[in-house]
A and B are shown apart, each in its own frame.
Chain A
Amino acid sequence: MSAQADWGPLCALEQSRMGERSLSKIPILEIRDLHATAGGKEILRGINLTVFPGEVHAIMGPNGSGKSTLAQVIAGRDLYAVTDGEVIYEGKDLLALQPEERAQQGLFLAFQYPVEIPGVSNLYFLKAALNAIRKRKGEPELDAMDFLSLVRQKMALMDMEEALLNRAVNSGFSGGEKKRNEIFQMAVLEPRLALLDETDSGLDIDALKIVAHGVNTLRSSDRAIVVITHYQRLLNYIVPDYVHVLSEGRIVRSGDKSLALALEESGYVGIEELSEAAQ
C-alpha cells in the first residue's frame, strides 16, 4: 500500500494537535463516564469522549458494541435510560434538553435507518426544521424563494434530483437516497456537531464518494463531526483526526487514523480481548 508511507508525518501532526487543542479551545462535546440501559440491560458502560471544534472523530466497533446506542442517547431517544455519567454540549447539560432543543442548538444525527414519513414532503419538513433552528438563534424565518435557492445549492452538492424535494420524507427512497438525504439535511441545517451513524452502510462506492464529499465540504474549524462506522472503508474518504474503538459499551482504544487500518487487518477479535482486559 503506497499510502502507508505518508502516515508517519501525519501521525506526528495529529499528536502535536492533540497536545495543543485543549489549551486553545473549549470542547463542543464532553462525555464523562456515560452509562445507559435499554430494557434493563446495560449497553453503555462508562464512555468517555471529548470532541473539540474542527475535529473529526471516528467511533468504530463490532455489532452490538453500543455505537448506535451512543448516537441515540446523544440525540435524546427516550428508549434508553441514562443511569450514570454526563454529557456536556457547549458547556451545557445536554441530557437535560429535549431532542428538538438539542437540534435547535446545533446537534445533528444522521440516522443509520432514516425514518420514512409518508404524507410529509421533504421540502416542507426541511423548511420547518430550518426555521425552527433559525428561530432559536433569533434569525428571521427564510421565505420560500431564499429557502429554495439554499436547498438547490445543497442538492447540487449531494448530486440529488430536485424531484426528491416534493416526495414524502424518505418514502420509497432507495437505501442510497436515504443516506444522501441525511447528509443533504445536514448541509441545509449546518449543525455545530454532527453524528453520522453508519452513514456508509449499504452504500456502493459511487454513493459513498458523494456522501463523503458532502461531509468533507461541511468540515470547518468551528464544527465537529463524529463518524460511527463498522468499516474502515468510509475513513478512506472522510479522514478522521481520531479513531476510537468501542467494545461492550466502553471505548477500549483511541488513536489516530492508523488505528482504523490496523483494525481492518486484525478485525475486532483482538479488541474484545482488550475489552476484557479493561474490566
Chain B
Amino acid sequence: MIATAVTPNMISGLADIRKRAAERFEAHGFPTTREEEWRFTNVAPIAKAQFPTIAPSVNGHSLRIALERHPGLVEEYLGHYASCENPFVALNTANSEDGAFLHIPANTIVEEPLWIDFTAVPDRTTHPRNLIIADAGSQVQIVERYTGRGPYFTNAVTEIVVGENAIVEHVKLEEESPDAFHVATIQVHQSPNSNFKSHNISLGGLLVRNDVNAVLSTGCEGTLNGLYLANGNQHIDNHTVLDHAAPHAASHELYKGILDEASSVVFNGKIFVRKDAQKTDAKQTNKNLVLSENSVINTKPELQILADDVRCTHGATIGQLDEEALFYLRTRGINKADARDLLIYAFARDVIDRIGIPEIRAHLEKALFESLHSRRSHSPRAGEAVA
C-alpha cells in the first residue's frame, strides 16, 4: 500500500485537507472498472506495482518552499479546486511532498513561457502537486512536462486559478517512458472574463489517464485541446469537463488522436450548462484516426444542459486515412508511405498549430515526425531486416 503520511510541519488548514484526503483514499481505494468514470481504464497494474513514494524534484518554483514562505497564499488555494472524489486526486493530496508553485501578480505579463519539468525515477511513485495562480489582468504561458526512464508511477495534480480578465495558456506534455503509469488531473477555475487554453498532449506512457476540468464564470472563454498518439500496447484515457457555471461563456474543445498497433484510447467529454448559464456557446469535437485493426477507441460526449438559451454542439469521428486523398497525393508522384505520413501529420498539426508557443510547436512537429519514422521502420513493409 502506498503510504498516506501527513507532513508534521504542515499548517493546520492544509493538514486537515490532507488528512481527509488520506481517509477518503483509504475508504475508497483505487478505482475499478465497475465505476463509470473508470469503465474503460483498468488501473490494477498501478496498484499492483507498489512503487515506493519519493518527493518529485522541482527545478525552482517549489511548492514546498512556497508553503514555508507564503503559507497564507498557498493555503488559500491549495486543495480547494481539485476534488478528492477522484481517488487519484485524494492519493496525491494526501501524499504529495512537492510540486511547482507559480504566482503571477495582478496585471503582470510574463513574456517568456514558464517551464515545469518533472523527470521520474525508475521504480518509484511521485505525486507532483502544482499550484498556478494568475491574478487579475495577468498573462502567462506555462509548459508542464513529464519524462522519465523505466517503469514508475507519476500521479500529478495541477490546480490553476485564473483571475479576472487574466489570460493563461497551459501546455501539458506527457512524454513518459514506454513502461510508465501516468495519471494526472488539471483542475481549472476561471474567474469572470478570463481566457484559459489547455493543450493536453499525450505521447508516451503505458497506462495514461488525464482529467482536465475547467469551471467557467461569466464572460469566460475556455479552450480544451488535446492530442494523443497511441501505439504498441499503450492505453490513453482523456476525461474532460467543461462546467459552464455562469452565463455568457464560450468553450471550445478539440481532441484528436492517432491510434496504431494494439493501442486503446478513451475520450470522455462532459459539458455541463448550469441553470443560470444562459447564452452559453460550447463546441466539442473528438476526431480519431485509426491506423490499425487492433486498436480500440471508446469516445463519449456527455452534455447536461439545464439552461434553455444556449448553443452546444458536439461530434466524434473515428476514421481511417482518406483513400481519395492518398490516391490524389500518389498521382502527383508522392510515394505511398510518404503520402500516408503527410496525411497523418496534417491530421495532428491541426492541434499543434493552435499552440501559441513556437518552441513547443517545433518540438511536437519533430516528435511527430520521429514517431512516424519509427512506425515505418518497425513495419515489416518498410523493414529490410525482416526474415
A115 touches B325 (CB 8 A): yes
B349 to A76, Cβ gap below 8 A? no
Chain B residues within an 8 Å CB radius of A108: 331
Q: Is the CB of B331 within 8 A of A133?
A: no
Nearest chain B CB to A166's CB is how many angstroms away? 12
Q: Say yes or no: is A118 at the interface (Cβ < 8 Å to chain B).
A: yes
- The digit string for A109-137, where 1 denotes a CB below 8 A from any CB of B, is 10100111111100001101110110010
The answer to the question of A98 belonging to the interface, with a C-beta cut-off of 8 Å to chain B, is yes
Docked-complex contact B335 and A118, CB < 8 angstroms: no
B321-365 vs A: 1/0 string, CB under 8 Å?
Answer: 010110111111111101100110111011000000000000000
Asked whether B333 lies within 8 Å of A189 as measured between CB atoms, the reply is yes
Least Cβ–Cβ distance between A244 and chain B, in angstroms: 22
Of A4-12, A99-107, A140-148, the one touching chain B? A99-107
C-alpha spacing A111/B324, complex, angstroms: 11
The reply to whether A133 and B346 form a contact with Cβ atoms under 8 Å apart is no
Q: Quick one: closest A residue to B344, CB to CB?
A: A119
Per the bound structure, the CA–CA distance linking A123 and B380 in Å amounts to 32
Q: Known A99-B331, A117-B343; judge A128-B349 contact (CB<8 A).
A: no
Determine the distance from Cα of A108 to Cα of B330 in the docked complex, in whole angstroms: 11
CA distance A133 to B330 in the complex (A): 11
Q: Let me know if A189 and B332 touch, CB within 8 A.
A: yes
Interface size on A, residues (CB 8 A): 31
Check A119–B332 contact: CB distance below 8 A.
Answer: no
Residues A239-260 near B (CB distance < 8 A): none
Bound CA span A267–B172, Å: 65
Q: Mark contacts of A144-167 with chain B using CB atoms, 8 A cut-off: 1 yes-contact digit, 0 otherwise.
A: 000000000000000000000000
Q: Are A117 and B331 in contact (CB under 8 A)?
A: no
| Docked complex Cα distance between A205 and B324 (Å) | 29
B346 touching A118, Cβ below 8 Å: yes
A77 to B324, CA, bound (A): 9
Taking a contact as CB atoms under 8 Å apart, the answer to whether A185 and B332 are in contact is: yes
Q: Which residues B295-338 have CB closer than 8 A to chain A?
A: 322, 324-325, 327-336, 338
With A115-B324, A117-B325 in contact, is A98–B330 under 8 Å at CB?
yes
Complex CA gap A78/B330 in Å reads 12
**Contact residues in B for A104 (Cβ distance below 8 Å):** 333
Complex Cα distance A116/B343, Å? 11
Contact status B333-A77, CB under 8 Å: no
B328 touches A98 (CB 8 A): no
Complex Cα distance, B343 from A168, in Å, reads 12
The answer to the question of A75 belonging to the interface, with a C-beta cut-off of 8 Å to chain B, is yes
Shortest distance from the beta carbon of A100 to any chain B beta carbon, whole Å: 4
Picked from A77, A109, A129, the residue with its CB within 8 Å of the CB of B334 is: A129
Complex: chain A residue closest to B324, CB-CB: A115
A132 touching B334 in the complex, CB below 8 Å, given contacts A115-B324, A117-B328: yes
- Bound Cα distance A115, B326 (Å): 9
Pick the residue among A75, A100, A119 that contacts B335 (CB under 8 A).
A100
CA distance A185 to B325 in the complex (A): 16
Within residues 93 to 137 of chain B, which ones have a CB less than 8 A from any CB in chain A?
none
Given the known A-B contacts A77-B327, A111-B328, A128-B338, are A118 and B333 also in contact in the complex, defined by CB atoms under 8 Å? no
Q: How far is the CA of A130 from the CA of B349 in the complex (A)?
A: 23
Distance of A228 from chain B, by nearest CB (Å): 15
Q: Once the chains bind, are A117 and B346 in contact (CB under 8 Å)?
A: yes
Q: Which residues of A contact B336 (CB under 8 A)?
A: 98, 100
A132 (CB) vs chain B CBs: closest residue: B333
Question: In the complex, what residue of chain B is closest to A136 when comparing beta carbons?
Answer: B333
* Most chain A C-beta atoms within 10 Å of own C-beta, residue among B328, B329, B332, B336: B332
Question: Contact at B331–A109, with CB atoms within 8 Å?
Answer: yes
Complex interface bits, A9-21 against B, C-beta within 8 A gives 1, otherwise 0: 0000000000000
Which of chain B's residues has its CB closest to A72's CB? B327
Contact B342 A120 (CB under 8 A): yes
**Structural contact, B343 and A99, CB atoms closer than 8 A:** no
Contact residues in A for B322 (Cβ distance below 8 Å): 115, 117
Listed in ascending order, the chain A residues whose CB lies under 8 Å from chain B are 75-78, 98-100, 102-104, 108-109, 111, 114-120, 125-126, 128-130, 132-133, 136, 168, 185, 189
25 contacts between A and B (CB under 8 A): A75-B327, A76-B330, A98-B335, A98-B336, A100-B330, A100-B331, A100-B334, A100-B335, A102-B331, A103-B333, A104-B333, A115-B324, A115-B328, A117-B329, A119-B345, A119-B347, A120-B342, A125-B329, A125-B332, A129-B332, A132-B334, A132-B335, A185-B332, A189-B332, A189-B333
Q: A103-B331, A108-B331, A118-B346 provided; 15 other pairs, C-beta below 8 A? A: A76-B327, A76-B331, A77-B327, A78-B327, A98-B336, A100-B333, A104-B333, A115-B327, A115-B328, A117-B328, A119-B347, A125-B332, A128-B338, A129-B332, A168-B346
